[in-house]
């Protein structure tokens, strides 16, 4: 057993396959906790966690908050609007203030890529990246991985295609790293205007037509199309996007095999995904939401101990004796 | 002032391919004589510079001294102090001050402040457009009369091709180059680093090489149209190099500069969101670095310029998107270039000295860059064996934003003379 | 490091006899099987509970509900030892309210595991009674917790370890004491 996770979870790019598997395996028992009559365990009792959201996010924040509360942590939510951040406080000052308040963990969502790492490098508390700019959104990718594993019993060898705005998507980047590390084949599909430079060099297949992606894939992870992308000229219109790249029932009907449809939410029905697909039998979108809480509990739990060398020693002592 | 004899050094004068061990006598602010065994008559201050290199004082055609307006991060006094510590005897000050250096009074202020500091020579660059707003031409004639040696809207590109055309045409009357920061703004907006695989991985918005090359191409075409002298600032891409090569083959009046960091660092320096690697133009790829080095060797790119850009000590303590562009470079330029380019085999020492003294002086038609008898005694003595570790805390500049912090480099100026006066000695004493 | 020094305190036959006797004691303690529920503590307590339950089934001809409890998330030492990487299954067979829950574990030492198990059980309901049944009581309690049923009492020094091996997980049935210097 190597070091568990280190101090922070900034992204999946620098995690080992074993570390990713550890998080997924740890998430399994946490699924059960959410099914209990009292959905709470005392594992993080007395820990203080700040949810520092510089960007509006309902889902991710609520999911983290449930995870924290079900682990018995004390949580404080700081949203950008109305906070000192909006009054011009720099990220480094925010970091120093949090440090001075002796908190244990920070869950940060920030519009700038690298903000989570920046914070993690400057405070002793554990930092969990809840999405930084266009860099990574590791817990979203982990819950996607868990959902795929639940469905297929494995990840290696599956063909998973990310569809839509890869250029601006932190979800896409985290998914690419996580899927590749666990042995999946990864495809990306969307217009060239929404593809980052050099994406193929990460080891992914490139599809320019949604029909080709559907023919190839076992799983489609349909990304949210930010409506502002149209305003900024990356696509001519939502109508045309839906016509050319929309994941529709008609297109899925022509697939050679049963596909699994995922979406990180919130969905733009009728833009990137047909409502009948989102609500249909292929969809595991709500399972993703359920798994989100379990995965986040696992991450918080694994980071909380924070002294992997001791955990390692404890494991050795607790292990069954060698023959 | 007592005459000064620099005795027994390796004297390199790139202006006339001179490279031999000899003595240099400095008298009345000028180079009085070169030759072996000039002796040491009474009253002459003799410096033993055996084992050292004696070269023309380095010339930097692109620095930001921040005065007036941002004296908290640099002043003309602190910036020229950093310059002489880095072996530079002349620097050209970019006009993106606050207020903008776009009139004769502003140019005169810089000249006076530089004279008061009494360290390196400062040659102001006037703004191309009033307020650098890219609309109306500034008064080139009056600014040149007050001491400006070039015009530039550096920090911003000249977006309007019409403005660039008229600037090139109008500058011909005064014989000054028009220096352009080449960046096509609609491609570069919001970009914080080179667009490539690293920006994709970091999720940072990229600035494609084409954003620079489009403007390089445009400026070359306008130089051809007008017959004006365009100087291309801080070139960063292999595509730009090819455009310049063709322009020079055509005989157009095009000169170009490159920074030490673009010659030595790639976009990988941005990994881990190191804001000290955030500059504009951004650090590019290894193939660009190789092309820039070859171009410098061949003279396709004329000279090295530092693009010394001081920022407040805490400005770079920010998320990558929020940090300012630019680094300080005056105090590391020679050592970085010597360590990486000369010891790395890309240039000879005389070539490097040429690219940092005679060539920039020629490009901007400045005095200096030569060790001929009768020339002003702007001289640097270099210890090319000294190994030192960059510690920004020791910089003379008021700012500390350097990506080379912690690097061990070889080569360092030990004595800098401006007009025959000792303005820097490596042991720390000045004047 | 020297080779582990091990002393067998229960061999396969002795272990089997101990479990048979414990099954009888469980029945006596619970006055039959009506409200009885066995709750094994992960990991080896689960196997032992299973065997005791089977024994009762053989003797009485009645199925005894049993569950599994992983107390990792209720430990009080997360701060010092860090998270245990793999958390076992917790499986509760129906409502605990009104039941007589017998917690089954392999070794009783400081009592902290049992304390955690009691906390965890309380989150699942309100049993009318909770009893404690352990295969080995090695002494060394740090909390006021005593077992109701003990398979084998043995005095083991601090720094030594009791290993319970079961066929299902370890390939053989045996209980050993691992002495100082033998702890890898």
Q: Which CATH class is domain A138-287?
A: alpha beta
Mean pLDDT of C35-58: 94
Q: Could you tell me how many helices (H) and strands (E) chain A has, helices first? A: 13, 9
Note the pLDDT tens digit of each residue in B71-123.
999 999 999 999 999 999 999 999 999 999 999 999 999 999 999 999 999 99
Please report which confidence band the pLDDT of residue B324 belongs to, taking 50, 70 and 90 as the band edges. Answer: very high
Mean pLDDT of A133-144: 97
Spans of all domains in chain A: 17-136+291-305, 138-287
Please report which confidence band the pLDDT of residue C184 belongs to, taking 50, 70 and 90 as the band edges. Answer: very low
Is the model's pLDDT at B430 over the cut of 50?
A: no
Is the model's pLDDT at B275 over the cut of 80?
A: yes
Q: Rounded to an integer, what distance in angstroms lies between the CA atom of residue C151 and that of residue C149?
A: 7
Q: Shortest Cα distance from A118 to chain B (angstroms)? A: 7
To test the contact with chain C by mutation, choose from A294, A304, A305 the residue with the greatest count of C C-beta atoms within 10 A, namely A305
Q: Rounded to an integer, what distance in angstroms lies between the CA atom of residue B239 and that of residue B48?
A: 46
Within 8 A of A201 by CB-CB distance, chain B residues are 197
Taking a C-beta distance cutoff of 8 angstroms, is the pair C147, C137 a contact? Answer: yes
At the fourth CATH level, the homologous superfamily of domain B57-363 is Metal-dependent hydrolases (3.20.20.140)
Prior bond of B341 cis (ω within 30°): no
pLDDT computed for residue A311 by the predictor? 42
Within 8 A of C75 by CB-CB distance, chain A residues are 43
pLDDT computed for residue B210 by the predictor? 98
Sheet hosting strand A105-110, strand order edge to edge:
A74-79, A48-53, A105-110, A126-132
Percent of chain B whose predicted confidence (pLDDT) is above 70:
98
Within 8 A of A134 by CB-CB distance, chain B residues are 203-205
Taking a C-beta distance cutoff of 8 angstroms, is the pair B367, B147 a contact? Answer: no
More confident residue, A87 or B410: B410
Tokens for B254, please give them: 């095009």
Taking a C-beta distance cutoff of 8 angstroms, is the pair A71, A104 a contact? Answer: no
Domains and CATH numbers, chain C: 13-76+89-159 (3.40.50.2020)
| HSE-CB of C139 using CA atoms within 13 angstroms | 8
pLDDT computed for residue A78 by the predictor? 87
B262: Cβ contacts below 8 Å, ≥ 6 apart: B234, B235, B236, B281, B283, B284, B288, B289, B292
List the single range of A34-38, B297-301, B403-407 with lowest mean pLDDT: A34-38
pLDDT computed for residue C36 by the predictor? 95
Is A311 within 8 Å of C87 when comparing Cβ atoms? no
Q: Does A132 touch chain B (CB under 8 A)?
A: yes
Q: Rounded to an integer, what distance in angstroms lies between the CA atom of residue A122 and that of residue A98?
A: 11
Tell me the CA end-to-end span of chain B in Å, nearest whole number: 12
- With touching defined as 3+ CB pairs under 8 A, do chains B and A touch? yes
Alpha-carbon separation of residue A292 from A52, A74, B25, B431, C101 (angstroms) = 18, 19, 78, 68, 33
Q: Shortest Cα distance from C153 to chain A (angstroms)? A: 21
Using alpha carbons, select from A133, C50, C76, A309 the residue that is nearest to residue B204: A133
Mean pLDDT of B343-361: 98
List the single range of A2-6, B237-241, B347-351, C100-104 with lowest mean pLDDT: A2-6
Q: Does A320 touch chain B (CB under 8 A)?
A: no
- Fold classified for A17-136+291-305: Rossmann fold (3.40.50)
Q: Which CATH class is domain B4-54+376-425?
A: mainly beta
Residues of each domain in chain B carrying CATH 3.20.20.140 = 57-363
Is the model's pLDDT at A4 over the cut of 80?
A: no
Please report which confidence band the pLDDT of residue C82 belongs to, taking 50, 70 and 90 as the band edges. Answer: low
pLDDT computed for residue A2 by the predictor? 36
Residues of each domain in chain B carrying CATH 2.30.40.10 = 4-54+376-425
Is the model's pLDDT at A194 over the cut of 60?
A: yes
**Ramachandran angles phi, psi of B297, nearest 5°:** -60, -45
pLDDT computed for residue B431 by the predictor? 37
Note the pLDDT tens digit of each residue in A286-306.
999 999 999 999 999 999 864
Please report which confidence band the pLDDT of residue A310 belongs to, taking 50, 70 and 90 as the band edges. Answer: very low
The closest CB to that of C73, out of A42, A312, A313, belongs to A42
pLDDT computed for residue B43 by the predictor? 81
């Amino acid at each position: 057993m190597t070091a568990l996770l280190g101090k922070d979870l900034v992204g999946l790019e620098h995690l080992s396959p074993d570390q990713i598997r550890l998080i997924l395996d740890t998430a399994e028992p946490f699924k059960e906790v959410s099914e209990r009559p009292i959905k709470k365990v005392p594992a993080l009792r007395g820990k203080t966690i700040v949810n520092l959201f510089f960007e509006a996010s309902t889902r991710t924040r609520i999911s983290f908050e449930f995870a924290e509360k079900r682990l018995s942590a004390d949580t404080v939510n700081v949203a950008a609007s109305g906070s000192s951040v909006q009054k011009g406080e720099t990220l480094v000052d925010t970091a120093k203030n949090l440090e001075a308040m002796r908190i244990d963990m920070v869950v940060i969502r920030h519009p700038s890529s690298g903000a989570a790492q920046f914070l993690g490098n400057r405070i002793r508390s554990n930092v969990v990246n809840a999405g930084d700019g266009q860099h990574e959104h590791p817990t979203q990718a982990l819950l996607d991985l868990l959902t795929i594993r639940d469905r297929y019993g494995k990840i290696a060898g599956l063909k998973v295609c990310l569809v839509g705005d890869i250029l601006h998507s932190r979800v896409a980047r985290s998914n690419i790293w996580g899927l590749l590390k666990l042995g999946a084949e990864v495809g990306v599909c969307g217009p060239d205007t929404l593809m980052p430079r050099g994406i193929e060099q990460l080891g992914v297949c490139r599809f320019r037509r949604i029909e080709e992606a559907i023919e190839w894939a076992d799983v489609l992870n349909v990304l949210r199309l930010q409506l502002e992308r149209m305003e900024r000229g990356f696509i001519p219109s939502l109508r045309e996007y839906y016509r050319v790249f929309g994941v529709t029932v008609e297109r899925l009907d022509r697939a050679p095999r049963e596909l699994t449809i995922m979406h990180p939410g919130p969905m733009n029905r009728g833009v990137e995904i047909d409502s009948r697909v989102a609500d249909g039998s292929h969809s595991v979108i709500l399972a993703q939401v359920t798994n989100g809480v379990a995965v986040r509990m696992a991450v918080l739990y694994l980071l909380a101990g924070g002294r992997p060398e001791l955990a390692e020693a404890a494991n050795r002592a607790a292990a069954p004796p060698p023959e | 002032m007592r005459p000064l004899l620099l005795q027994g050094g390796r004297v390199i004068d790139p202006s006339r391919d001179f490279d031999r061990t000899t003595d240099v006598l400095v008298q009345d602010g000028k180079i009085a004589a070169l030759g072996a065994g000039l002796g040491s008559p009474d009253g002459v201050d003799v410096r033993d510079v055996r084992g050292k290199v004696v070269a023309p004082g380095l010339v930097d055609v692109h620095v930001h001294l921040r005065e007036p307006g941002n004296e908290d991060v640099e002043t003309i006094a602190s910036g020229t102090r950093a310059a002489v510590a880095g072996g530079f005897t002349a620097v050209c000050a970019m006009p993106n001050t606050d207020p903008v250096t776009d009139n004769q009074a502003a140019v005169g202020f810089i000249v006076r402040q530089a004279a008061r500091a009494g360290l390196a020579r400062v040659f102001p660059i006037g703004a191309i457009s009033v307020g650098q707003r890219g609309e109306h031409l500034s008064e080139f004639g009056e600014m040149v009369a007050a001491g400006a040696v070039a015009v530039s809207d550096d920090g911003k590109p000249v977006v309007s091709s019409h403005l660039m055309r008229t600037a090139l045409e109008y500058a011909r009357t005064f014989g000054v180059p028009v220096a352009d920061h080449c960046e096509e703004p609609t491609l570069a907006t919001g970009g914080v680093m080179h667009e490539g695989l690293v920006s994709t991985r970091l999720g940072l918005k990229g600035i494609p090489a084409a954003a620079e090359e489009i403007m390089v191409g445009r400026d070359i075409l306008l130089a051809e149209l007008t017959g004006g002298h365009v100087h291309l600032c801080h070139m960063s891409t292999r595509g730009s190099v090819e455009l310049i090569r063709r322009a020079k083959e055509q005989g157009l009046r095009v000169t170009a500069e490159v920074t030490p960091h673009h010659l030595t660092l790639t976009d990988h320096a941005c990994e881990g969101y190191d804001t000290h690697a955030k500059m504009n133009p951004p650090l590019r790829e290894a193939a660009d670095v190789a092309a820039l080095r070859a171009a410098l060797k061949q003279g396709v790119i004329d000279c090295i310029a530092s693009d010394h850009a001081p920022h407040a000590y805490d400005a770079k303590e920010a998320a990558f998107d929020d940090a300012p562009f630019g680094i300080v470079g005056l105090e590391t330029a020679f050592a970085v270039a010597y360590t990486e380019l000369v010891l790395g085999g890309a240039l000879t020492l005389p070539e490097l000295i040429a690219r940092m003294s005679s060539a920039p002086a020629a490009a901007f038609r400045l005095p200096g860059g030569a060790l001929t008898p009768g020339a002003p005694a702007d001289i640097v003595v270099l210890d090319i064996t000294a190994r030192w570790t960059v510690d920004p805390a020791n910089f003379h500049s008021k700012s500390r934003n350097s990506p080379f912090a912690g690097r061990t480099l070889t080569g360092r100026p030990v004595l800098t003379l401006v007009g025959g006066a000792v303005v820097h000695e490596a042991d720390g004493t000045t004047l | 490091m020297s080779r582990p020094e091990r002393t067998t305190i229960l061999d396969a036959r002795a272990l089997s006899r101990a479990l048979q006797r414990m099954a009888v004691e469980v029945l006596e303690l619970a006055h039959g099987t009506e409200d009885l529920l066995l709750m094994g503590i992960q990991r080896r307590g689960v196997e032992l509970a299973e065997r005791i339950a089977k024994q009762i089934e053989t003797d009485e001809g009645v199925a005894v509900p049993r569950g599994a409890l992983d107390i990792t998330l209720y430990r009080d030492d997360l701060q010092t030892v860090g998270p245990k990487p793999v958390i076992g299954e917790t499986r509760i067979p129906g409502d605990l309210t009104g039941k007589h829950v017998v917690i089954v574990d392999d070794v009783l030492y400081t009592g902290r595991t049992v304390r955690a198990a009691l906390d965890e059980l309380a989150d699942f309901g309100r049993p009318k009674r909770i009893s404690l049944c352990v295969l080995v009581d090695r002494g060394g309690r740090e909390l006021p917790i005593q077992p109701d049923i003990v398979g084998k009492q043995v005095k083991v020094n601090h720094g030594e370890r009791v290993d319970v091996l079961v066929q299902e997980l370890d390939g053989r049935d045996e209980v050993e004491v691992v002495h100082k210097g033998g702890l890898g």
